[in-house]
A and B are shown apart, each in its own frame.
Chain A
Amino acid sequence: MKNIISNTYSRKFRGISTFESEAESIYFLLPFKFHSISIDREVLVNEIGDYLIVPQGTAKAIVHREIDFSSNLYRDLVANFFISPTPVPELLNVISTRYRTKKKSLGSFTSLHIFVVTLRCNHSCHYCQVSRAAESKSEFDISYKDLDAGINHMFLSPSEELTVEFQGGEPLLAFDKVRYAVERIQLLNEDFKKEISYVICTNSTILNDEILLFCKNYNILISTSLDGPAFIHNANRFKSGRASYDLVIEGIDRTRQALGHDKVSALMTTTALSLKYPKEIIDNYVENGFGNIFLRPISPYGFALKNQKKNHYQTAEFLDFYKQGLEHILNLNAQGVFFKEDYTSIILQKILTPFTENYVDLQSPTGLVSSVIVFNYDGFVYASDESRMLAEIKDYTFQLGHVTQPYEELFLGDKAKQILNNGVAECLAGCSDCAFLTYCGADPVLHYATQNDMQGHRAFSIFCKKNMEIIRYLFEMLDIRKGYVESTFQSWIHKPAA
């Protein structure tokens, strides 16, 4: 190092000609992809998710060596790892490290463990993907034996960070099972010493002081369902007796008082009715003190398919709903209300930072099994929540086995391998050439459910259509409305929701 430095001649800056040579006018391509985002603009995306938005035809010009090496574009392309002055880039190690960072989820294996403690429920939501059982039918609760076996499997995961999610039905109808599971996990973790977080997915209608005290003692988060204003929520989520909306809002208030404002989050499901009211739904979330919303389409699984009139709509209709909602949210932010859309934030994290989000639907290789696992009430183990929804209509394609089987048979068995083999977007037709690959993922369950093929055909895929358009739209916004929109987007990925 010392010799090299002492070979320099002076401290003065040298003219540009010093750095120009014949050799430098020849550049070498690094792996990148491109996609048209408007009539006259295209986005270039490299292997590690860095992007440049450029005029249409730039990718072709790069490949045909038509880029002027004294131009800013040339410098941007070199600096952002689209081309290299050397056949093997000097910073290959940096690119590889960045690639590894983008695939971080592979390093830890299964972290999210969902326990379906009961199928019993006190609601009759028309979009519910699973068959619910009457409140009194305790034979639809998970057994202590299966609960123990699931917990034992969970501790075999190499992941140092575990999330335990209790689902139903309405899991608090089987609160004794939730309590037992948490206390047993805490006891066993005295030896395993893993970072464990808990979430109860509840409709919030039967939360009481005993449950809330328990949640406070174990720092359990509450995830509830709120579909928007009462006229939408109650139409979507029917409950006999009292209207669901009033009970949910009471439950949210009560939880915040007992656990803290940030300990409760809400999820909405977009039905055919919701499509007409994006602003009203978002305003309802703001009014109820939420700093974020997940504009989530209905999952085309299980029993949700039975009520086509209320639950079926075209992807294009959802995209209109999403764009109207996003525009409204940006307007709220412009007025000083910090509020973000969660799906957008997940994608923006992938676009605007070197990091990634461990969101199962947008992972490649798929997050099924390798990020999430479901222990169902009957002891059977599924690759994801959506997988058990299929099983409710007697399709057991994604059933990995029974919880009493050994860990290796469930998590590393032939079924798990089959699912993973079909869930590598880099190897899927249509995905492997896609510029948005780094930001997207593979979803074998959705493609199986909609096309009877785990890989699916991208040109017919609602998953592809939705994600391609959302990501294209975000790039278009970053291009033509940079400044305020970009700074707002940046705030979403760097600041947690209120």
Chain B
Amino acid sequence: MDVLASTDELLQFIVNEDIYSETVIFKTIYWLAPIASFDILKFPPKSFLITARPNTASFSEEIKKEIEIQLRKGLVDFKVRDLINQETSSVRSMIIAKAFDNDGFLDIEPQSQISDPIGFDPTR
């Protein structure tokens, strides 16, 4: 993320869309709504332009710094969450579907063999 502009009335950041999706950006700025209002625009060729404007008359230096820190941290955190969500959505659906499968339609046998790692054979 690069800082494009930083004044008392406006903060602008450029975010590479190959790294951070629109979803990740929106989830990040959602939590910053109490301290600024945001606009997101496409910034050709492959970036997003995030514009922050103060909720009050102007930004203090402290708030400007806070927004930048929170944006940087939020983008990384929500990117990680997004990756987890993408990778686990099928398993999550299976967990929930099976949890409420009252009739046992979704019952499946374990796919692997039952193992006996300590070599205990009660038949011997």
A residues with a Cβ closer than 8 A to B are 1-2, 4-6, 8-14, 19, 28-34, 47, 59-60, 63, 86, 88-90, 92-93, 95-97, 99-100, 103, 429-430, 433, 457-460
Q: Across the interface, do B88 and A29 meet the contact criterion of CB distance under 8 Å?
A: yes
**What are 30 contact pairs spanning A and B, CB under 8 A?**
A2-B123, A5-B123, A6-B121, A6-B123, A11-B119, A11-B121, A13-B118, A19-B117, A29-B84, A30-B91, A32-B84, A33-B84, A47-B95, A59-B84, A86-B111, A86-B112, A88-B94, A90-B110, A92-B98, A92-B108, A99-B95, A99-B99, A100-B99, A103-B99, A103-B100, A429-B30, A433-B78, A433-B85, A457-B30, A459-B34
B114: interface (CB < 8 Å): yes
B80: interface (CB < 8 Å): yes
Q: Across the interface, do A430 and B100 meet the contact criterion of CB distance under 8 Å?
A: no
Q: Across the interface, do A47 and B92 meet the contact criterion of CB distance under 8 Å?
A: yes
**A59-B88 Cα distance, complex, nearest whole Å:** 14
Q: Across the interface, do A5 and B116 meet the contact criterion of CB distance under 8 Å?
A: yes
Q: Across the interface, do B119 and A8 meet the contact criterion of CB distance under 8 Å?
A: yes
B residues with a Cβ closer than 8 A to A are 27, 30-34, 76-78, 80-81, 83-85, 87-88, 91-92, 94-96, 98-101, 107-108, 110-124
With beta carbons under 8 angstroms apart, the residue of B34, B88, B120 that contacts A30 is B88
Of all chain A residues, the one with the shortest Cβ separation from B88 is A31
**A12-B120 Cα distance, complex, nearest whole Å:** 9
**A338-B119 Cα distance, complex, nearest whole Å:** 47
Q: Across the interface, do A63 and B83 meet the contact criterion of CB distance under 8 Å?
A: yes
Q: Which chain A residues lie closer than 8 Å to B91 at the CB level?
A: 28, 30-31, 88-89, 92
- Contact (A59, B80) CB under 8 Å given A4-B116, A5-B122, A8-B116: yes
Q: Which chain A residues lie closer than 8 Å to B101 at the CB level?
A: 96
Q: Across the interface, do B31 and A5 meet the contact criterion of CB distance under 8 Å?
A: no
- Contact (A433, B81) CB under 8 Å given A30-B88, A90-B110: yes
Of all chain A residues, the one with the shortest Cβ separation from B122 is A5
Q: Across the interface, do B123 and A458 meet the contact criterion of CB distance under 8 Å?
A: no
Q: Which chain B residues lie closer than 8 Å to A90 at the CB level?
A: 110-112
Q: Across the interface, do B99 and A96 meet the contact criterion of CB distance under 8 Å?
A: yes
- Contact (A459, B84) CB under 8 Å given A92-B98, A96-B99: no
Q: Across the interface, do B33 and A9 meet the contact criterion of CB distance under 8 Å?
A: no
**A11-B96 Cα distance, complex, nearest whole Å:** 39
**A29-B81 Cα distance, complex, nearest whole Å:** 12
With beta carbons under 8 angstroms apart, the residue of A89, A97, A433 that contacts B99 is A97
Q: Which chain A residues lie closer than 8 Å to B76 at the CB level?
A: 60
Shortest A99–chain B CB gap in Å is 4
Q: Which chain A residues lie closer than 8 Å to B34 at the CB level?
A: 459-460
Shortest B3–chain A CB gap in Å is 23
- Contact (A31, B95) CB under 8 Å given A5-B121, A63-B80: yes
Q: Across the interface, do B80 and A458 meet the contact criterion of CB distance under 8 Å?
A: no
**A8-B116 Cα distance, complex, nearest whole Å:** 7
- Contact (A12, B99) CB under 8 Å given A32-B84, A60-B76, A459-B32: no
**A190-B10 Cα distance, complex, nearest whole Å:** 71
Beyond A5-B123, A89-B91, 15 additional contacts (C-beta under 8 Å) are: A4-B113, A5-B121, A6-B123, A12-B119, A19-B117, A28-B91, A30-B91, A31-B95, A33-B84, A47-B92, A59-B84, A63-B84, A99-B95, A103-B100, A433-B85
Q: Which chain B residues lie closer than 8 Å to A86 at the CB level?
A: 111-112
Shortest B96–chain A CB gap in Å is 6
**A419-B64 Cα distance, complex, nearest whole Å:** 39
CB-based closest 6 A-B pairs = A96-B98, A99-B99, A100-B99, A31-B88, A31-B92, A96-B99
Q: Which chain A residues lie closer than 8 Å to B115 at the CB level?
A: 4
Q: Across the interface, do B31 and A430 meet the contact criterion of CB distance under 8 Å?
A: yes
**A92-B94 Cα distance, complex, nearest whole Å:** 8
Q: Across the interface, do A99 and B119 meet the contact criterion of CB distance under 8 Å?
A: no
Q: Which chain B residues lie closer than 8 Å to A31 at the CB level?
A: 84-85, 88, 91-92, 95
**A228-B105 Cα distance, complex, nearest whole Å:** 55
Q: Across the interface, do A11 and B92 meet the contact criterion of CB distance under 8 Å?
A: no
